[in-house]
């Protein structure tokens, strides 16, 4: 399943944002629609077994204005997928999902480079 949100730049807490109740409600409706006799417990177990990836864009450093960027937040053009981690968990990415993405990238043909950034 994929979920796409149109309000991320102005607020995840909007009625349609990623931090809204819409995600939970949509997941429950899909699950119980496919399994009408399922229990709440089976739903919770399924959610815990799920794998989430938060895919977003990362703004690369503009070559003419590199001094305007913080050095620790400087993704480069054409140098690979950017994995963003946030101490406040504003991204779904955690150590497990980042590790899985790294393994997938390393095993792909051709190898996909990775750029890591910790956003504080």
2-54: pLDDT as tens digits: 777 766 655 677 777 777 788 889 999 999 999 999 999 999 999 988 877 77
Average pLDDT over residues 71-82: 83
Q: Which residues contact 9 (CB under 8 A, 6 or more apart)?
A: none
Shared-domain flag, residues 109 and 68: yes
Report whether 81 contacts 112 (CB < 8 A).
Answer: yes
Q: What confidence score (pLDDT) does residue 107 get?
A: 96
| Structure-block tokens of residue 41 | 């417990």
The domain of 64 spans 53-120
Q: Which residues contact 52 (CB under 8 A, 6 or more apart)?
A: 92, 97
Report whether 113 contacts 105 (CB < 8 A).
Answer: yes
CA distance 61 to 76: 6
Give the chain's domain count: 2
Shared-domain flag, residues 46 and 59: no
Q: What confidence score (pLDDT) does residue 8 get?
A: 61
CA distance 68 to 39: 53
Shared-domain flag, residues 59 and 112: yes
CA distance 99 to 55: 15
Shared-domain flag, residues 76 and 36: no
Shared-domain flag, residues 25 and 40: yes
């Amino acid at each position: 399943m994929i979920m796409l949100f149109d309000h991320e730049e102005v607020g995840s807490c909007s009625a349609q944002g990623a931090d809204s109740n819409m995600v939970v409600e949509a997941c429950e409706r899909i699950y119980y629609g496919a399994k009408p006799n399922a229990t709440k417990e089976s739903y919770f177990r399924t959610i815990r077994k799920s794998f989430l990836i938060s895919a977003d864009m990362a703004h690369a450093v503009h070559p003419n204005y590199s001094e305007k960027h913080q050095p620790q937040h400087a993704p480069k053009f054409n140098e690979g997928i950017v994995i963003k981690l946030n101490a406040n968990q504003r991204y779904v990415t955690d150590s497990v999902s980042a590790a899985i993405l790294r393994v997938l990238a390393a095993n792909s043909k051709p190898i996909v480079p990775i750029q890591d950034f910790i956003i504080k």
